[in-house]
Chains A and B, each alone.
Chain A
Amino acid sequence: MANLIVSAVSTFDNKGLKKGKKEITAFEQTVNKLGKTFASVFAAQKLLAFSKNAVKAFIADEKAAKSLELQLRNTGFAFSAPGVENYISSLQSLYGVLDDQLRPAFQQLLTATGSITKSQDALQTALNISAATGKSLTEVSAALTRGFSGNTTGLSRLGAGISKATLKTGDMDKIMGELNKKFAGQAAARLDTYAGKMGLLTVAAEDARETIGKGLLDALSLLGKDTSISSATNLMDDFAKSTADAVVGIAVLVNELKKLGNTKVGGVLFDVKNIPVLGAYLAGFSEIGAAQRAQTAPSNREGRSASRIYLDQLRKESKALQAATTLRKQENAQLKAKTEVDKLSEKFDLERIGLIKALGEATDAETKLRIQSKLAILDNNEALAKKYNAELNAKTAADLLATAATDAANALNTLPNKYDQIFTSLVGQFKSMGIEAGAAAGLAASSARLQAQADAFFAQAGQYAVPGGMPSSATTAAAAAAPTVVPQVTVNTGAVLTSEQDLSVYIQNALGQITKLGNGALIPAGSIAFQ
């Protein structure tokens, strides 16, 4: 009850107030301290809660990915799993819809259609309808799935305005055609809205959370020396380990912030190095965490979706290729820049000036070629030097060919005279031997022809000569290439032959003798010959 009093005198006593003030000050200090303690405890709890949520998000994501992968494998699309994962990932970043919604929707549609292509088309349509009608993707995809299974009731409730007649037919191609006609481009148009942009932001945040969750699991697995996710999750309750995780989480977070720092807006805001003292530590933690993440990545592989791992590899390879291309471009640009500098220096190179002057004054091709070669040497231009070397070799070869051709032409010019002389001489000899003029001329002509063939053979012997030690095939080839030659043999009988009959007898005797010895070319050694 309130004090109901009237007093004639009131006294003012500030002693109590002073005391109260002191007490209040002390209380404030205590409260502040308590507040700080609460804040730190609360922050630690928040961090722990965030870590747990991040791990849960990553595990849920992995579970969904693995489920889809298994279904793809069961339906004979095992090889398409990485492609599907990539498709979902692309859709997520393209339309700002979480993969948590996309994956189950795709899985449902795949179950109903049994075709990846059809499922992809249907998912695209579902995204468009969802964006246009405001209904959730899950709801729309469920309606489409039921439609593919023959139940079109759900489709009529989507508010998509499909005519009853079309729905009654149950022809999904027709229904999808109508839906596509009505809602095409809606999902993309949604991105221009505030909700769409928020969706993109949400996707980025969720991805970051899943990435952090993965980092935490890797770190926990490392600490627990156990690679299973369940053990790692249990370890989250252990304070010491949770703290260690939080540090790794910070490292990952810092990495993500660094990425943000690369943006125009966040460049200054999110550079952790800008944070006094702590920034340096954070940057250090970040580097350690990044290195550790690379080392621990394989440890959780048995718990991860194979298609995702493969997709990761593909992405890494693609990234590496891009990096290599960028480096090559940079290198080329540097070389180009260097060439420009060289061009400038060339203008003041006296040796080069002299050579260029000589090149301008040279009249024959060979001199020009030599000067150009010297220039190539001066430029250290390997490609050009190679070209000029080849040209010089070709020039030498061409010269040799020209000389040989001249010699051959000269030889050809002298040949008729030689064989005329042989022919005339032989005719004379045969006549002196008592052979009549016609027969003598015939024999002389044959001899001259034989001589010509022999000359031709020996003339080409140099070209077809087979070096020692070559396989027999080479010899055979050389022989085949050589023209058929009858060697001219000079026979010294040691007796005077008076008639043709004597000559015939002499030859027969000689052949008999050769056969007996077995060394002749007529019959092989060891064979039996009859005389």
Chain B
Amino acid sequence: MPVVVNGVKQLQKAMREVEPELNKQMAKDIKTAMLTVRDTARGYLPRQNEVLSGWGKGTASAETIKFRAFPAYDYSLARSLIKYNAGTNRRNRSGFAAAFYVANISAPGAIFETAGRKNRRGSSNSESLNPNAGIQFIESAESISQMKGEGKQRGRLIYRAWFEKSNKVIPAVVSAINTVATDFNKKTQLRKAA
């Protein structure tokens, strides 16, 4: 789970105005910690020839099925779209927003990340002529990268990387924020005293 830090936004805003350099330092430290997660996640991505041949070819088309065509696997695309973002994303319904996050935003990357998370034996709504297609796809993905994590934070790429690396990343991030915050307070106190 991410660390919930109250006032980060305000701190960033204040730092941008008073000590822009401190803000940059904090962003740099957090990025360093988070990039290990991104790189690890990218490392779990299967190569183009590792996935099931059909998925790699992308034979399904919109004309032959009712819905959007099943996205073909593209290693380079999936890899490039596992990226780090230093900003904050959109607030969720509870009012929380993620800051300094790694996201997996490509369709094939997301499929590989979550396939079998809800149903280990594949969806019963599958329209494939092969009744075992779902199971075969999940087993294939599972053989490449094991799903790790809990609940909705469970997956084969970024979630797995976060699950494995968070025990190091979170203290590093907290440390970076604290350091910057302490420095900021010190500097502002000195200014006030002066």
Q: Are B161 and A11 in contact (CB under 8 A)?
A: no
Q: Are A8 and B100 in contact (CB under 8 A)?
A: yes
Q: Which residues of B contact A4 (CB under 8 A)?
A: 103-105, 109-110, 113-114, 155, 158-159
Q: Which residues of B contact A9 (CB under 8 A)?
A: 2-5, 8, 30, 98-100, 173, 177
Residue on A nearest B6 in the bound complex, by CB: A12
Q: Which residues of B contact A1 (CB under 8 A)?
A: 105, 107, 110
Contact of B30 among A3, A8, A12, A17 (CB under 8 A): A8
Q: Are B105 and A7 in contact (CB under 8 A)?
A: no
Q: Which residues of A contact B169 (CB under 8 A)?
A: 8
Q: Are B91 and A8 in contact (CB under 8 A)?
A: no
Residue on B nearest A16 in the bound complex, by CB: B91
Q: Mark B1-42, 1 if CB is under 8 A from A, else 0.
A: 011111011000000000000000000001001100100000
- Alpha-carbon separation in the docked complex, A24 to B170 (Å): 36
Interface residue? B54 (CB, 8 A): no
Interface residue? A498 (CB, 8 A): no
Q: Which residues of A contact B105 (CB under 8 A)?
A: 1, 3-4
Interface residue? A10 (CB, 8 A): yes
Interface residue? A13 (CB, 8 A): yes
Interface residue? A14 (CB, 8 A): yes
- Alpha-carbon separation in the docked complex, A169 to B88 (Å): 97
Q: Are A11 and B103 in contact (CB under 8 A)?
A: no
**B171 to nearest A CB, angstroms?**
10
With contact pairs A4-B158, A6-B158 given, residues A13 and B173 touching in the complex (Cβ less than 8 Å):
no
- Alpha-carbon separation in the docked complex, A19 to B30 (Å): 31
With contact pairs A13-B91, A14-B95 given, residues A8 and B110 touching in the complex (Cβ less than 8 Å):
no
**A13 to nearest B CB, angstroms?**
6
Interface residue? A5 (CB, 8 A): yes
Q: Mark A139-160, 1 if CB is under 8 A from B, else 0.
A: 0000000000000000000000
Q: Mark A265-287, 1 if CB is under 8 A from B, else 0.
A: 00000000000000000000000
Q: Are A8 and B8 in contact (CB under 8 A)?
A: no
- Alpha-carbon separation in the docked complex, A4 to B161 (Å): 13
Q: Are A16 and B95 in contact (CB under 8 A)?
A: yes
- Alpha-carbon separation in the docked complex, A17 to B98 (Å): 16
Size bracket, chain B contacts: 35 or more
Interface residue? B153 (CB, 8 A): yes
Interface residue? B55 (CB, 8 A): no
Q: Which residues of A contact B4 (CB under 8 A)?
A: 9-12
Q: Are B114 and A7 in contact (CB under 8 A)?
A: no
**B165 to nearest A CB, angstroms?**
9
Complex interface residues of chain A between 1 and 39 (CB less than 8 A to chain B)? 1-14, 16-17
Complex interface residues of chain B between 144 and 194 (CB less than 8 A to chain A)? 153, 155, 158-159, 161-162, 166, 169-170, 173, 177
Q: Which residues of A contact B52 (CB under 8 A)?
A: none
Q: Are A10 and B97 in contact (CB under 8 A)?
A: yes
Max chain B Cβ within 10 angstroms of own Cβ: one of A5, A9, A10: A9
Q: Which residues of B contact A16 (CB under 8 A)?
A: 91, 95
With contact pairs A1-B107, A12-B95 given, residues A6 and B113 touching in the complex (Cβ less than 8 Å):
no
Q: Are A6 and B101 in contact (CB under 8 A)?
A: yes
Q: Are A6 and B162 in contact (CB under 8 A)?
A: yes
Q: Which residues of B contact A8 (CB under 8 A)?
A: 2-3, 30, 33-34, 99-101, 169-170, 173
- Alpha-carbon separation in the docked complex, A14 to B109 (Å): 32
Q: Mark B109-141, 1 if CB is under 8 A from A, else 0.
A: 110011000000000000000000000000000
Q: Are A5 and B95 in contact (CB under 8 A)?
A: no
Q: Are B96 and A11 in contact (CB under 8 A)?
A: yes
- Alpha-carbon separation in the docked complex, A120 to B178 (Å): 101
Residue on A nearest B88 in the bound complex, by CB: A11
- Alpha-carbon separation in the docked complex, A1 to B107 (Å): 8
Q: Are A3 and B107 in contact (CB under 8 A)?
A: no
Q: Are A10 and B5 in contact (CB under 8 A)?
A: yes
Interface residue? B102 (CB, 8 A): yes
Q: Which residues of A contact B2 (CB under 8 A)?
A: 6-10
Q: Are B102 and A11 in contact (CB under 8 A)?
A: no
Residue on B nearest A14 in the bound complex, by CB: B95
- Alpha-carbon separation in the docked complex, A465 to B167 (Å): 156
Interface residue? B53 (CB, 8 A): no
Q: Are B3 and A13 in contact (CB under 8 A)?
A: no
Can you name 13 A-B residue pairings with CB atoms under 8 Å?
A5-B98, A6-B159, A6-B161, A8-B169, A9-B2, A10-B4, A10-B98, A11-B9, A11-B88, A11-B99, A13-B96, A13-B97, A16-B91
Additional A-B contacts beyond A6-B158, A11-B4 (5; CB < 8 A): A4-B158, A6-B159, A8-B100, A8-B101, A17-B95
A-B pairs with the 8 shortest C-beta distances? A7-B101, A7-B98, A8-B173, A6-B162, A5-B103, A4-B104, A9-B99, A10-B2
